[in-house]
Amino acid sequence: MIFASDLDRTLIYSERFLPGYIGKVEAVEQGKYISFMTEKSVELITGLFTQLIFVPCTTRTIEQYRRIRFFNRQYIPKFAVVSNGGNIIVDGVVHEGYRNNIAQKLSDNCLAGSQLLKEFEELASGEWSGRLVSADGLFYYCIIDRAKAPLEQIDAFADWALDQNWEVSLQGRKLYLVPRLVNKWSAVEKIKELTGEQVVFAAGDSLLDLSMIENANQAIYPAHGELYERFGKSLLNSRGQSVAATAVAGLAAAEQILLEAARFKEYGWNDKKAINNN
């Protein structure tokens, strides 16, 4: 079984989430940026490494992912999905065949990034948006001031971008502009092909995780973030089945996600006991 999970705000959390959690935590990323997991989450995920194929699926760039020492020094997954699905790391090395295939698809099917940026620049203002950063040459993001940002205009831009095969996602203070063909589920499908595994349990908090949540055999999302804000306590996947949010928000949500992954592995995806066991 493959357990494909987003990282930030799903399994690992920044310092600003710590006040809402009363248990012990462990730093899993150090330096300028620090991220944490609860000690219970560390214990749970360590146990899962021997039971299934854990695949971190992150919007982080290759460099940003490698800053997380927990997944690069302590427990190293064979596969990792980075760049929001634009790259797959296999045994520490970027899979060039997959990356080249993505590049060709973008060229054939999506509006060129330079043209999208030209449209965005007409909307953007130094009053609320920072400099746009290219992420591994695949998508863009910038830091914004949500209080000053023209959210309705951003929504209208997102609708236009969707027609150009791009998605716009606002996660906390980060605004992402991502080609629709650069998505985590496409990368997970490639990993299914490489491993021969067909059953997938997925987790994630943002609209950039929706492709995984909708297409996995079963999934869960935390009771915070874009998915929870849009869908509330449950959503329907691509097969019309209900996918539930966790019962709790914040760092404790990661613990429930990991427990559900373990139950899913134990009971099998046709058994309702695997999901919403509480």
Q: Same domain, yes or no, for 146 and 189?
A: no
Q: Which of 131, 149, 179 is the last residue of a domain?
A: 179
Q: Same domain, yes or no, for 134 and 227?
A: no
Spell out where the chain has E strands: 2-5, 13-14, 25-29, 35-38, 53-56, 79-82, 87-90, 93-94, 133-135, 139-143, 166-171, 174-179, 200-203, 218-220, 234-236, 242-244
**Is 144 part of any domain?**
yes
The parent domain of residue 198 ranges over 2-100+182-274
Count of residues in the chain: 278
Number of domains making up the chain: 2
Q: For position 274, what pLDDT does the model report?
A: 38
Q: What is the mean pLDDT of residues 220-236?
A: 96
User: What CATH number has the domain bearing residue 67?
Assistant: 3.40.50.1000
Q: To the nearest whole number, what is the mean pLDDT of the chain?
A: 93
Res. 269 pLDDT band, cuts 50 70 90: low
Q: What is the pLDDT of residues 107-148, one digit of tens each?
A: 999 999 999 999 999 999 999 999 999 999 999 999 999 999
- Coil, helix or strand at residue 102: helix
Name the residue with tokens 């620049």: 121
**Is 86 part of any domain?**
yes
Q: What is the pLDDT of residues 169-224, one digit of tens each?
A: 988 889 999 999 999 999 999 999 999 999 999 999 999 999 999 999 999 999 99
Q: Same domain, yes or no, for 127 and 50?
A: no
The model's pTM: 0.91
Q: DSSP character for 130? A: -
Q: Which of 160, 179, 198 is the last residue of a domain?
A: 179
Q: Same domain, yes or no, for 45 and 174?
A: no
Q: Same domain, yes or no, for 141 and 87?
A: no
Whether 272 shows a pLDDT value over 70: the answer reads no
**Is 106 part of any domain?**
no
Q: Which of 122, 145, 179 is the last residue of a domain?
A: 179
**Is 171 part of any domain?**
yes
